Amino acid sequence: MELTTIWFLAIAVLFTGYFILEGFDFGVGVLLPVLGRSNRERRAMINTIGPIWDGNEVWVITAGAAMFAAFPHWYASLFSGFYLLLFAILIGLIIRGVAFEYRGKGTTDKWRQGWDLCIFTGSVLAAFFWGVVVANIVRGVPLDANFDYTGSVWQLLNGYALLGGLTTLLLFTTHGAYFLHLKTAGEISERARALGLRLAVATAVPAAAFLIWTQAAYGSGLSLVLIVLCVLSLVAAFLLDYSGRGGLAFASTCATVAFAASGLFAALWPDVLPSTSDPANGLTAVNAAATDKTLGIMTWAAAIFLPIVLLYQGWTYWVFRKRVTVEQIPT
Amino acid sequence: MKHGDWGGMDVLDLARMQFGVTTVYHFLFVPVTIGLSMLVAILQTMWRATGKTAYLRATKFWGKLFLINIAMGVVTGIVQEFQFGMNWSSYSRFVGDIFGAPLAFEALLAFFLESTFIGIWIFGWDKLKPALHLACIWLVAIGTVASAYFILAANAFMQNPVGYQINETAGRAELTDFGAVLTNPVVLSAFPHTIFASWLTAGVVMIAVSGYHFQQRRDLDVHRPALRLGVLTTLVGGLGTTLSGDALGKVMTSTQPMKMAAAEALYQTTYNAPFSVLTIGSLDGRHGTPIIEIPGLLSYLGTGSFNGEVQGINDLNAQYQTLYGAGDYVPYIPLTYWSFRLMIGFGLLAIAMAVIVWWFTRKGGNPTHRLFWPIAMWMVLTPFLANSAGWIFTEMGRQPWVVFSLLETEVGVSPSVGVRTVAMSLIGFTLVYLMLAVIALKLFLKYAKAGPPSEEDALAGASGPGTDPEKPMAFAY
């Protein structure tokens, strides 16, 4: 297999991993004011992701750095072209990250309400705009001969991309609800389950529209398979949750996110950022890539260290496998 | 390129200002994270080794202050990675084949380690066996140091490009020797310099916070060992920073002679070059008149001999014009001159403070003069000022290059980004960063003043996994 193909797959895996893991973190943040009726309930919710959100966020740092190293042109065109979208995501990630750490370190209601707002807003911003970013990558943007973006920020807020943003926002929120159902106990877990069922239905509509649009306009044989699996796993999540199988239901929303992300990458391949102005200016896995030397070194590093990372991150989830109950939250 | 300006500044000015603001801000937290993770690990090791509860209380106290700091370091770090592409896309295209790999290594080998194990450490007091829990904080400390190595290796390429060839068709630098990139002489000196400076920074923070409690005469069984550790760390860090800084100066003289000349505002090539403590110069940085000088010191710093030759700004500029074409290759001298002096001066002040505190607190002493501890506490600012000045010197002294001798800064900026976009994000980041700075500082002071947890609270859940599943979490957000 070509090294450029391997690295296209690696970037797809890193972003997919990121969306699965931080996806439910975002969902927990979005649901914080909805599901958490008291301070202790909200604390129980935050503590389900307390030990893991930071490690989850490193997936996007790794994905970004790997893109920089493996596909410098993709990284450069994307980050400069999608400037304000990424700015919004960064602000979102900053305020919610600090909020997790600082919320419990004050004592007044006003303090906690402020940070709750940061967690909610930050999660919504990131969950929505990541969808807008990925949709625009698949759709393509106007690029000049140097691969530089020539459009405006408004062109990035087109109908297809906004639908993509709505899809990720709702999908991550659903994913978060199933996670909370699994990771909490008692009343709050039941509420998460009930809401998760309704959210799955609410997600299905825009997600189906977005994925059908994707398949019709940009799809391939592989993307069709993945998109069908995505829809099926969302239905499975709903049915499993309905029949009280919380663990399997969450596994199914993990699959939904994974199939959605990989379906989009499959639709993108072999491009990495198509040009809508002149197709000749588009970036592909070949013309955006670094040299084989760099890709070779990166392949060795990833082959050795990514499994190690998966092992110890997996171990973290094992250590914190127990449900968080409201009663366990120290007063 | 989209031209236009905003308040008299163009995209290049704003992008540089944004890089300066976000980087200096991020680096307020980085050295504290590197240094304190190790100090917390040492305190926890001391507790495990001796079983003394005072060390456990110190671990928990310093652990909390460490977390207030690291949260800011983590979230401001993501901005750093994104803004290479956002503001400096032409730079990213040019160096990506070389510069990206150390960043990817940093994420894969260091960030995952730090971020995953810090989560386990924070929440794992009652989940893991004590020895395993202790191993987690050491892994965090190792992760922070590894991260510093990779990012400094990437920066070293900008100062002294090695292990590359220029591909004219592709219009970029391409990797030929990754080993050379990772063993760049600049990173071999800059890495110890940064790590020792981080120890110095964390040591001074520890002295200042412990000093507050010495003044209050509270919990000295917890704070005296911490103060001693802080003094020792500051002195080891200070000595190491000085020696590695000396080595770095010599590497800089051979690889970036213009930067060394700019550090001294030395216009003419000179043997037995002096080091001036004070120079009065013109604001455009074209002339300088030294007022107080130490003869031969600059030659010594740069070459290891008091009679060594140090090339002057004017001669180097003429050389560079022959080599790289017409242009001005002189950095902004007043800034390089003063940042270099402030870095050294504030660093030395910090070391002097540690020595004085050590002298007056040895053999169980606690100075009673009402100004002693307040002054020691205010000295906490010195390492932060020294660190910031050091980075401003390193990066401004490289100008007009973004990659020395290969790519000028003005060529590296994103051609597709408009002036209002950069202005908006600059204002946005600055406002958010300012608000967070106030909050983080207030929290740090609040918990620093509150002191360590009681013996009972510290011991709760610190003995490893329990059997009661319903008992409260040992730590919760």
Task: Report CB contact under 8 Å: B417, A83.
Answer: yes
Do residues B383 and B233 make contact, with C-beta atoms less than 8 angstroms apart?
no
Subunit contact B75:A313, Cβ cutoff 8 A: no
B308-331 per-position pLDDT tens digit: 888 999 999 999 999 999 999 999
Say if residue B342 is in the same domain as residue B326. no
Residues in B closer than 8 angstroms to A103, CB to CB, are 477
Question: Does the structure's ipTM exceed the value 0.90?
Answer: yes
B176 by DSSP, 3-state: which?
A: coil
B303 and B343 fall within a common domain: no
**Could you tell me if B252 and B213 lie in one domain?**
yes
Out of B127-131, B198-202, B359-363, the most confident range is: B198-202
Q: Does B470 reside within a domain?
A: no
Query: What is the SS3 string spanning B307-359?
Result: CCEECCHHHHHHHHHHHHCCCCCCCCHHHHHHHHHHHHHHHHHHHHHHHHHHH
Select from A98, A108, A323, A329 the residue whose CB has the most chain B CBs within 10 Å, as the one to mutate to test that interface: A98
Residue B464: inside a domain: no
pLDDT of residue A16: 98
Residue B5 lies in a domain: no
Q: What is the pLDDT of residue A73?
A: 98
Best mutation site among A79, A133, A149, A331 for testing chain B: the one with the most B CBs within 10 Å? A79
The answer to the question of residue B55 being in a domain is yes
What global pTM score does this model have? 0.95
Together in a domain, B157 and B278 = no
Average pLDDT over residues B120-138: 95
Residues B177 and B188 occupy one common structural domain? yes
Q: Give domain status of residue B472, yes or no.
A: no
**B45 contact A CB<8A:** no
- pLDDT at res. B470: 67
Confidence (pLDDT) at B308:
86
Same domain, B68 and B176: yes
Mean pLDDT over B452-466 rounds to 83
pLDDT at A233: 96
Q: What was the pLDDT predicted at B275?
A: 87
Nearest to B101 among A71, A77, A297 (CB): A297
Q: Same domain, yes or no, for B301 and B384?
A: no
The tally of domains found in chain B comes to 2
> Is residue B7 over pLDDT 60?
yes
For residue B51, is it left (φ>0), alpha (ψ between -120 and 50) or beta?
left
Contact assignment for B84 to A95 by CB distance below 8 Å = no
pLDDT at A214: 97
Which residues, other chains included, contact B55 with Cβ-Cβ below 8 Å and sequence gap of 6+? Answer: B43, B44, B46, B47, B225
Same domain, B213 and B275: no
- Tell whether A305 is within 8 A of chain B (Cβ): yes
pLDDT digits (tens, 9 = 90+) for B405-423: 999 999 999 999 999 999 9
Question: Based on the domain organization, do B282 and B179 belong to the same domain?
Answer: no
For B355-373, the pLDDT digits (tens) are: 999 999 998 899 989 999 9
Position B467 scores a pLDDT of: 62
Q: How confident is the model at residue B292 (pLDDT cuts 50, 70, 90)?
A: confident
How distant is the alpha carbon of residue A152 from its chain centre?
25
Each residue's pLDDT tens digit in chain A (331 positions)? 899 999 999 999 999 999 999 999 999 999 999 999 999 999 999 999 999 999 999 999 999 999 999 999 999 999 999 999 999 999 999 999 999 999 999 989 999 999 999 999 999 999 999 999 999 999 999 999 999 999 999 999 999 999 999 999 999 999 999 999 999 999 999 999 999 999 999 999 999 999 999 999 999 999 999 999 999 999 999 999 999 899 999 999 999 999 999 999 999 999 999 999 999 999 999 999 999 999 999 999 999 999 999 999 999 999 999 999 988 888 7
**Range with the poorest average pLDDT among A138-142, B56-60, B115-119, B277-281:** B277-281
Give yes or no: residues B202 and B349 share one domain.
Answer: yes
Instruction: Give the A window 222-241 contacts with B, CB below 8 Å.
Output: none
- Does B278 or B285 have the greater pLDDT score? B278
Of A58, A86, A94, the CB nearest to B115: A58
Map out the domains of chain A as residue ranges: 3-213+270-322
Classify residue B319: in a domain, yes or no. yes
CA nearest B398: which of B339, B334, B342, B331?
B331
Minimum mean pLDDT range among A298-307, B90-99, B131-140, B288-297: B288-297
Residue of B nearest to A94 (CA): B75
In a domain, B366, yes or no: yes
Within a domain: B289? yes
Identify the pLDDT of residue B475.
Answer: 82
State whether B322 and B413 are in the same domain. Answer: no
The model's pLDDT over B243-283, given as tens digits with 9 standing for 90+, comes to 999 999 999 999 999 999 999 888 888 888 888 887 777 76
Looking at chain B, the whole-number percentage of residues with pLDDT higher than 70 is 97
- pLDDT band at residue B468 under the 50/70/90 scheme: low
Same domain, B41 and B188: yes
Confidence of residue B1 (pLDDT cuts 50, 70, 90): very low
The percent of chain B in helix, strand and coil, each rounded to the nearest 5, is 70, 5, 25
Q: Does residue B460 register a pLDDT over 90?
A: no
Q: Judge: A301–B417 Cβ closer than 8 Å, yes or no.
A: no
Range of the domain at B212: 11-256+331-459
- For testing contact with chain B, the best of A7, A71, A78, A90 (most B CBs within 10 A): A90
**Confidence grade of residue B189 (pLDDT, cut at 50, 70, 90):** very high
Q: Which of B68, B469, B477 sits opposite A46 (nearest CB)?
A: B477
CB pairs under 8 A between A and B: 249
CA distance B235 to B204: 10
Q: Which residues of A touch B107 (CB under 8 A)?
A: 58, 61-62, 64-66
Cβ–Cβ < 8 Å for B210, B230: yes
Environment class of A300 (CB within 10 Å of its CB; exposed 0-12, middle 13-18, buried 19+): exposed
Does the pLDDT at position B476 exceed 90? no
| B373-382 average pLDDT score | 96
Of all helices (H) and strands (E), which one includes residue B163? Answer: none
Q: What percent of chain B has pLDDT over 90?
A: 82
Q: Which residues, in sequence order, are CB contacts of B396 under 8 Å at separation 6+?
A: B331, B332, B335, B336, B339
